């Protein structure tokens, strides 16, 4: 819990009481790598802040598994379509690395946002981070051989945290193309 507090405390400098209210409803859990948090056909109505680790959501109904999104340190996700929904998002959410989450039930985070402007601002900032991530992920919709280079340029922390299988799923390219792209990024044109 101390790690979570140290991460989010700067957002609550103006109103420490809001931080106390948020912490009253927060539970911290640790998950091992490859544990499934939520399957495609189920929902887990929790708002989850990633304290440490990496979480990803796979779309399995594609030709091959596609890593739709990842959430690392300082980002959040929900076990539903979004924080105001209680429906499944049709993605399998699992832990790509050992991870520590701070979880708050969705009805509570909704109520807290409605009642407390500081908490609403905090969640809004995190929502903007998520939106920025999806804007940047759209940049990888280039020619398959350029996707890795674009990802390195715009989201370097992601390339450092994902293994080759996860990277190829995230970039929607086969592993051979990924290896060629990595070689090109390291040594220039083959």
User: What is the predicted pLDDT for the residue at 139?
Assistant: 67
Domain of residue 17 covers 2-136
| Joined tokens for residue 125 | 């900032």
Residue 52 reports pLDDT greater than 90: yes
Query: Are residues 107 and 28 part of one domain?
Result: yes
Phi, psi dihedrals of residue 71, rounded to the nearest 5°? -130, 120
Task: Say if residue 52 is in the same domain as residue 130.
Answer: yes
The residue from 118, 136, 154 where one domain ends is 136
Q: Which of 115, 136, 157 is the last residue of a domain?
A: 136
What digits encode the pLDDT tens for the residues 32-43?
A: 999 999 998 898
- The structure tokens listed for 89 are 């998002």
Q: Looking at the structure, do residues 26 and 110 belong to the same domain, yes or no?
A: yes
Give residue-wise pLDDT tens across range 118-173.
999 999 999 998 888 777 777 666 788 888 888 888 888 888 889 999 999 888 88
The CATH number linked to 34 is: 2.60.120.10
Q: Is the pLDDT of residue 190 over 60?
A: no
Alpha-carbon distance of 172 to 82, in angstroms, equals 24
Q: Are residues 8 and 52 in the same domain?
A: yes
CA 182 to chain centre: 24
pTM beyond 0.75, yes or no: yes
């Amino acid at each position: 819990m101390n790690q979570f507090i140290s991460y989010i405390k700067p957002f609550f400098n103006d109103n420490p009481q809001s931080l106390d209210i948020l912490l009253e409803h927060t539970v911290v859990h640790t998950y091992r790598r490859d544990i499934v948090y939520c399957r495609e056909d189920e929902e887990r109505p929790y708002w989850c802040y990633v304290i440490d680790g990496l979480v990803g959501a796979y779309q399995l109904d594609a030709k091959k598994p596609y890593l739709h999104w990842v959430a690392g340190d300082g980002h959040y996700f929900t076990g539903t379509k979004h924080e105001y929904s209680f429906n499944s998002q049709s993605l399998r959410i699992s832990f790509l690395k050992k991870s520590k989450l701070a979880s708050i039930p969705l009805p509570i985070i909704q109520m807290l946002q409605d009642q407390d402007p500081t908490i609403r601002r905090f969640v809004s900032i995190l929502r903007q981070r998520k939106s920025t991530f999806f804007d940047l992920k759209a940049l990888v919709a280039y020619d398959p051989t350029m996707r890795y280079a674009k990802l390195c340029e715009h989201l370097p922390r992601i390339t450092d945290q994902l293994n080759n299988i996860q990277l190829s799923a995230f970039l929607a390219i086969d592993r051979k193309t990924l290896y060629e792209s990595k070689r090109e990024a390291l040594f220039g044109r083959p």
